[in-house]
Amino acid sequence: MAGPLTGVRIVEFSAIGPVPLAAMLLADLGADVVRVDRVAAAQGRPGLEIAMLGMARNRTSIAVDLKSPQGAEVIGRLLDGADVVLEGFRPGVMERLGFGPDEATARNPRLIFGRMTGWGQDGPLAQRSGHDINYAAVAGALEAIGPSDGPPTPPLNYIADFGGGALYLALGVVSALYEREQSGLGQVVDAAMVDGTASMTAMLRGMMTLGMWSDQRGSNSLDGSHPFYRCYETSDGKYVAVGAIEPQFWAELQLRLGLSASDWPQYDRTKWDDQHAQLEVIFRTRTRDDWAHLFADSDACVAPVLSLLEAPQHPANQARGVYVEVDGFMQPAPAPRLSRTPGEVRHGAPMSGEHTDEVLTQLGYTPEELETLRADDVIG
């Protein structure tokens, strides 16, 4: 069954972090994604792109020297027939290579140019380097995460790279594709991780306005300071996650633990330290999986904290097919799920340059021209 983006051709310039995840999401939904890799990678000298293996499925790969005149011609032909470009270079790099939005859309007015940066295409930080932790810090998201008696805790690279980056880039692209149906024209999608991360703080900012959220880390309902929303260690050194925020869920938690509701008022802050200490003692009396079994059929909002290796084996994940195995590699299944035109994993990750000849032949290159380009290290 064809996905909703079947027929959309995307050219993805090899990058790390948010660009490959955005490309994976769009490819899972049916888009034909051609990834442009470095010639060195195709020659067996991979760089950071090897770390992107988990997000590289459903692509074809060509390897091209972007800085050579012949390579630029290859890219020009590729972009002429594309619907979308995804790139994560610093501002100005695509322009210097000769494939910036002005040049590309002059040849292909319907082209949608998806640009992923940390700080945006303009502004005082536009040319500065950074990573997830930096963008989350400046956007105001990082300060809220972690204990009150220590530094903020880096949330891996989930927030800025993937939440504020890849998801917003993919949303911008599908929005531009929808708008193009009315106007017939492409446009630039300027997706900055700092912008997306700031957008994700909207709820907390609203709560702060209403006096429901404090700017003091470790004092709020969702940051682990409340006894009913935090992780507790179990007897086997593992953890359970307790999220009994609503009163009815807190009451269910007390019932399952054999606690007296009158002794466990939920929102009496003077009781929280004692409640936290008592819950620590209680949860250390059983293993994580024992607790998971006890709460499996309840609304107490208690769940086992699973590792990346354990998660695919959880019965609920298996029943829903949350993970799939492709080429011997366990990976998350396509999401979200559409009823009529669902996404699918059509094939695993390509080798760098695996489809160079196939794609360039489609662009009109002859076998003799391909041989010459390869001999000159223009393609790999």
State the DSSP string of 223-258: TT-STTEEEEE-TTS-EEEEE--SHHHHHHHHHHHT
Contacts of 255 (CB under 8 A, 6+ apart): 300
Q: Which helix (H) or strand (E) holds 107?
A: helix 101-107
**Rounded to a whole number, what is the distance in angstroms from the first to the last CA of the chain?**
33
Q: Does residue 65 have an active-site annotation?
A: no
**What span, in angstroms and rounded, lies between the C-alpha atoms of 315 and 312?**
8
| Bridge partner list, 115 | 87, 190
Which residue in 171, 6, 2, 196 sits closest to 83, CA to CA?
6
Catalytic residue among 131, 276, 290, 314: 131
- One-letter amino acid at 351 equals M
Does the active-site annotation cover 80?
Answer: no
Which distant-in-sequence residues (6+ apart) come within 8 Å of 134 by Cβ? 118, 160
331's CB contacts (< 8 A; 6+ apart) are 54, 57, 323, 324, 325, 345
Catalytic one among 28, 65, 83, 161? 161
Q: Which active-site residues does the annotation give?
A: 131, 161
